[in-house]
């Protein structure tokens, strides 16, 4: 039986949701969601989840591996995703808050997934488990579960763009296209499909530019910083400046390599008041591998050179393994 407090909190949330356009929440709001009994979805891998997660959070494994085809990196069949969600008690019709590590675009991909399959009350905790720990809030290590549900997933095609639609949209002057990849990917220096480059007329705004310090991931790799605090979101004013040259009233399509990084940018654009934002689902994997699709700054993947590098690396590994074996003997 629901307590009066629970009923009041639920009512307050409903009013707040109706009045707010933001799907991105902060630590205090995350605490309130946990207290309300919202579904908390941790999209990280099982190992990270069991090392520590938010109270009551459920986990179905690393979202990028569980819900996507390993080659195309598109969604697996909706029927399969429906079975996974229902078994986990992940009811898209209920209030859901998605999180991962701070700034991890896969958390935004989780939010976009909920919306794509019909969810209306999903939010994201950008700070994730890192901000929660830094606030000194309790962490659980035991696996949490919810009762199974039986909910039919209904895809919302208006939120995404497929390959055929993207070919048509590139010919329209009324559409603005954002490439959320790195500058090297955009210019074709970093080739991650048959071809490198970018969709003609696309504007390159890497998704890391949404962070307070876009270079945080690089600095972490070089051990120049001790944590990922720089991955916190820019404030609203700075985000508006970042996208100031775009028209919020125009149709806006965001893409990256496979739609994950694009999801973060798409959600942020919506919080800034952009009215019609879509994610190009197949993104560069779909475009770069389609030889009929026009490419700006076009480069090609040298498969022979790549195979040679891989063979050389394997040879070095074999030599190291042989050396270790001889040393142990």
Among candidate residues 23, 50, 13, 24, the one with its CA nearest the CA of residue 102: 24
Catalytic residue among 38, 60, 153, 256: 256
Q: What pLDDT sits at residue 4?
A: 46
What is the spatial distance between Cα 99 and Cα 101, in angstroms, rounded to a whole number?
Answer: 7
**Per-position pLDDT tens, the chain of length 329:** 444 433 334 444 444 433 344 799 999 999 999 999 999 999 999 999 999 999 999 999 999 999 999 988 999 999 999 999 999 999 999 999 999 999 999 999 999 999 999 999 999 999 999 999 999 999 999 999 999 999 999 999 999 999 999 999 998 989 999 999 999 999 999 999 999 999 999 999 999 999 999 999 999 999 999 999 999 999 999 999 999 999 999 999 999 999 999 999 999 999 999 999 999 999 999 999 999 999 999 998 876 666 767 777 787 787 777 777 777 76
Q: Return all residues near 133 (Cβ < 8 A) that are at least 6 apart.
A: 52, 139
Q: Which CATH number does the domain 158-205+243-303 belong to among 3.40.250.10, 1.10.3720.10, 3.90.226.10, 3.90.1150.10?
A: 3.40.250.10
How is the chain split into domains, by residue range?
4-155, 158-205+243-303
Q: What pLDDT sits at residue 19?
A: 36
Q: What pLDDT sits at residue 15?
A: 40
Q: Considering the domain 4-155 in this protein, what is its CATH number?
A: 3.40.250.10
256 a catalytic residue: yes
Q: Could you check whether 4-155 and 158-205+243-303 share the same CATH topology?
A: yes
Q: What pLDDT sits at residue 3?
A: 47
Q: What pLDDT sits at residue 252?
A: 98
- Give bridge partners of residue 143 from the DSSP assignment: none
């Amino acid at each position: 039986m629901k307590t009066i407090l629970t009923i009041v909190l639920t009512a307050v949330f409903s009013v707040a949701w109706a009045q707010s356009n933001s799907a991105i929440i902060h630590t205090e709001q995350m605490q309130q969601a946990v207290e309300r009994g919202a579904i908390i979805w941790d999209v990280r891998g099982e190992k990270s989840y069991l090392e520590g997660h938010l109270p009551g959070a459920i986990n179905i494994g690393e979202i990028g591996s569980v819900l996507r085809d390993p080659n195309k990196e598109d969604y697996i069949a909706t029927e399969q995703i429906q079975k996974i969600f229902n078994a986990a008690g992940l009811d898209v019709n209920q209030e859901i808050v998605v999180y991962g590590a701070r700034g991890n675009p896969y958390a935004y991909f989780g939010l976009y997934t909920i919306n794509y399959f019909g969810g209306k009350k999903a939010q994201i905790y950008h700070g994730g488990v890192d901000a929660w720990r830094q606030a000194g809030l309790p962490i659980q290590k035991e696996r949490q579960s919810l009762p199974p549900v039986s909910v039919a997933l209904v895809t919302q095609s208006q939120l995404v763009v497929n390959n055929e639609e993207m070919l048509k949209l590139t010919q329209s002057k009324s559409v603005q296209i954002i490439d959320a990849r790195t500058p090297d990917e955009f210019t074709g220096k970093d080739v991650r499909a048959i071809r490198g480059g970018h969709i003609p007329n696309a504007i390159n705004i890497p998704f890391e530019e949404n962070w307070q310090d876009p270079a945080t991931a690089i600095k972490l790799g070089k051990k120049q910083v001790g944590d990922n605090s720089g991955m916190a979101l820019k404030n609203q004013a700075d985000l508006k400046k970042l996208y100031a040259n775009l028209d919020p009233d125009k149709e806006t399509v965001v893409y990256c390599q496979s739609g994950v990084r694009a999801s973060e940018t798409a959600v942020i654009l919506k919080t800034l008041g952009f009215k019609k934002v879509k994610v190009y689902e197949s993104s560069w994997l779909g475009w770069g591998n389609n030889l009929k699709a026009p490419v700006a700054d076009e480069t090609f993947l040298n498969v022979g050179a790549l195979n040679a590098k891989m063979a050389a690396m394997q040879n070095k590994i074999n030599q190291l393994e042989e050396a270790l074996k001889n040393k142990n003997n």
